[in-house]
Amino acid sequence: MAARQLLLLRRGYSSAGAAEYLHRSIVPTMHYQKSLPRLPVPKLEDTIKRYLNAQKPLLNDDQFRKTEELAHQFEKGIGRELHEQLVAQDKQNKHTSYITGPWFDMYLKSRDPVVLNFNAFMSFNPDPKSEYNDQLIRATNMTVSAVRFMKTFRAGYLEPEVFHLNPEKSDTEIFKKIIRFVPSSLSWFGAYMVNAYPLDMSQYFRLFNSTRLPKLNRDELLTDEKAKHLLVMRKGNFYYLMFLVKVRKNTFQSLLQCCLSPSICEVCPIICCFCSAVYTCSCAFKKSLNFIIGILFPIFLLL
């Protein structure tokens, strides 16, 4: 089998309960989600005006007059018809924003290399404690912390994302104790009254166990929250580690050490290295890579 499956032993946390979560917010994570105001469709006249204001510094007088003429023709002609279609579509999809469909299409229909153009990544400074910069220790600590974040979110204990313009009034324990009793259908407006603006958290669930499935014309996003494994990659080798069971940190560390062992790397077959420049071509490999789909997140070991 191309991926070596390493199963963690079922052992208890050294300090069960508190160690599982980053914190326990008294305001549920998605408390504001139902009452978030929808993004309004801007008036066509305002859109034309903003477009012309953006063009004016870039064009000479003759060019701007021509552009202005074309813009007003569009506003009175096909633009009016398209705007009415957009408004009608928005009214039929009150669960989301009018830009959601085109926004996802922009990414999922693109055939550009995914790694360089779309995939997010994080870069970290060296730890102040030099002994924590060992690859094995750092990978273990980051993995355990990331899973604590994930568990906190899924349990509804993660602090809601709120933009505070007057934190002395809104980012307080008193406000949180009051706002948690306001119904979710009204909670956003309660925060607004004290100049606090809860933010959309609808895509947080895709932070873990999510992948992009290659399709011929438009890719698909898949999230499988039942999966309990990590994918560790090192020197072309893929390692499958069960993690979402109660384990000790040193147990997980010992399994990562196993992935770092030169003897294992010598006998574990190399699966393949994807070049996503021709992304559609990877559709053919999808069925043979089911062990990758639904992973919590991948870990890349460089040494």
Distance CA(64)–CA(185), nearest Å, equals: 47
Q: What is the CATH number of domain 4-29+117-154+204-301?
A: 3.30.559.70
pTM for the structure as a whole: 0.75
Residue 63 has pLDDT above 90, yes or no: yes
pLDDT at residue 172 in the model: 96
Distance CA(210)–CA(294), nearest Å, equals: 6
pLDDT at residue 271 in the model: 35
- In this predicted model, which residue has the larger pLDDT, 266 or 260? 260
Q: What is the pLDDT of residues 181-215, one digit of tens each?
A: 999 999 999 999 999 999 999 999 999 988 888 88
Q: What is the pLDDT of residues 3-21, one digit of tens each?
A: 333 333 223 333 345 578 9
pLDDT at residue 142 in the model: 85
User: What whole-number percentage of the chain has pLDDT above 90?
Assistant: 50
Q: Are 289 and 1 in contact (CB under 8 A)?
A: no
With CA atoms as reference, report the closest residue to 6 among 179, 287, 300, 242: 242
- Give the chain's length: 303
Return the minimum-mean-pLDDT range out of 33-47, 58-72, 229-243: 229-243
Q: What is the pLDDT of residues 136-156, one digit of tens each?
A: 888 888 888 888 899 999 999
Residue 160 has pLDDT above 60, yes or no: yes
The residue-averaged pLDDT of 75-100 equals 93
pLDDT at residue 173 in the model: 95
CA atoms within 13 A on the CB side of 201: 22
Q: What is the pLDDT of residues 205-264, one digit of tens each?
A: 999 988 888 888 999 999 988 888 888 877 777 777 776 655 555 565 666 666 655 554
Q: What is the DSSP letter of 288?
A: G
Distance CA(8)–CA(184), nearest Å, equals: 39
The set of residues, in sequence order, having a beta carbon less than 8 Å from that of 24 and lying 6+ positions away, is 152, 157
C-alpha distance from residue 186 to each of 135, 182, 191, 198, 226 (Å): 47, 7, 9, 12, 32
Task: Please provide the DSSP assignment of 36-98 as one string.
Answer: PPPPPPPPHHHHHHHHHHHHGGGS-HHHHHHHHHHHHHHHHTHHHHHHHHHHHHHHH-TTS-T
Distance CA(247)–CA(251), nearest Å, equals: 7
* Mean pLDDT of the residues in the chain: 80
Domain ranges of the chain: 4-29+117-154+204-301, 44-113
Q: Are 141 and 132 in contact (CB under 8 A)?
A: yes
Instruction: Return the number of other C-beta atoms located less than 10 Å from residue 68's C-beta.
Output: 16
pLDDT at residue 220 in the model: 93
pLDDT at residue 98 in the model: 92
pLDDT at residue 70 in the model: 96
